[in-house]
Copies of this chain bind each other. A is one copy, B any other.
Amino acid sequence: MNTSQIFINIQKHISLSDLEKSYFSSFIESKEISKKELILKQGQTCKKIYFVASGSLRAFNINSQGKESTVMFAVQDWWITDMYCFTNQKPALLSIEALEDSKLITLDFYALEAMYQEIPKFERFFRILFQNAYIREQLRALNAISFTTEERYCRFVEKYPEIVQKTTQKQIASYLGVTPEFLSSIKKK
């Protein structure tokens, strides 16, 4: 398994000794998945958190009326899981699927808890990760109630051009919370 990439990611925020790296390495597993494969199904218990070494993924929810909503995308160098379910060990609200063939590094819930104990620096790493994730989601919520759909679409395309390439318009529509037909009519302009 090629672990250099995940250590570069981690060492953006904390530094690790060789010993700590090998300890961490003993906990992680690599996983390859092919396009459209699901790594988590809504209703299952979510036991792992995933680091995207290559490829891209999408997390989505299907509600009781059958409406699909994309909650997040994850491209190379991002972390993804159903954090609600992962933290509380409850049935997942989200399904997570690969948008293309992808390589992941997985970290188990109990392994992560052990990591926090053994190498408290990881508390710092994930503190920063969650802090940024929180800020991102709060800005997204503000965006959603403060801008028109057209503005939000344009901002999304500007901010995440690499995601736009890898996904469909239908999925972007379900991320913005509008129908594919309406997004299509916006694009005409």
Using a CB–CB cutoff of 8 Å, the interface residues on chain A facing chain B are: 61, 63, 67, 69, 71-72, 83-84, 87, 93, 116, 120-121, 123-124, 126-127, 130-135, 137-142, 144-147, 174-177
Report whether B84 and A135 are in contact in the complex, using a CB–CB cutoff of 8 Å.
yes
Report whether A135 and B69 are in contact in the complex, using a CB–CB cutoff of 8 Å.
no
Report whether A71 and B142 are in contact in the complex, using a CB–CB cutoff of 8 Å.
yes
14 contacts between A and B (CB under 8 A): A61-B142, A63-B147, A87-B131, A116-B124, A120-B123, A123-B127, A126-B127, A126-B131, A130-B134, A133-B134, A137-B137, A140-B141, A144-B144, A144-B145
Number of copies: 2
* Residues of B contacting A147 in the complex (Cβ-Cβ under 8 angstroms): 63
Among B84, B130, B141, point to the contact of A127 (Cβ < 8 A): B130
Q: How far is the CA of A83 from the CA of B141 in the complex (A)?
A: 14
* Residues of B contacting A126 in the complex (Cβ-Cβ under 8 angstroms): 127, 131
Most central of A71, A124, A138 by chain B CB within 10 Å? A138
